[in-house]
Structure 1
């Protein structure tokens, strides 16, 4: 059963970097999900989809996968670039586009 090792990105609802410094080992989907015709909930026979292991470093996650014989792939995180934005830039006289309501 293959797994992926990645560092989660921050959610769109948060400004900070909370929960983005740990590495996660998550198993790939092995069996398709099915919709129950009576109740309408989604189910699967694959219980490994529910497992999400967290590690401090990428090396720890890789070592765990090797020790337990888990095939894995590492997804490197994309570092975000921080843009210096100032509120006063909205009112500059040399602004590229005019500021209007």
Structure 2
């Protein structure tokens, strides 16, 4: 993905695409999708990405994980960590 000039601020969709690239590159796992995007006060982004950690049969028993990727204002990875793991068929109740 092309690098933005220093100080350029990505929009949410650009930040999400970059975060997916960072997370899949770091984990070696396929992304299911972006489940959250948040603008940070420093001009960067926190993007939450869901990935398949373990494929199982049936698919409803796949192990998924949620990762948070913090990007700086240039779209570069500043921090990255796994937030949680769960089975695909599991539904969270508030």
- Place the TM-score, normalised by the shorter chain, in its bin: under 0.3
Q: Which has the higher contact order (CA 8 A, sep 6+)?
A: 1
Greater share of residues in strand: 2
Larger Rg: 1
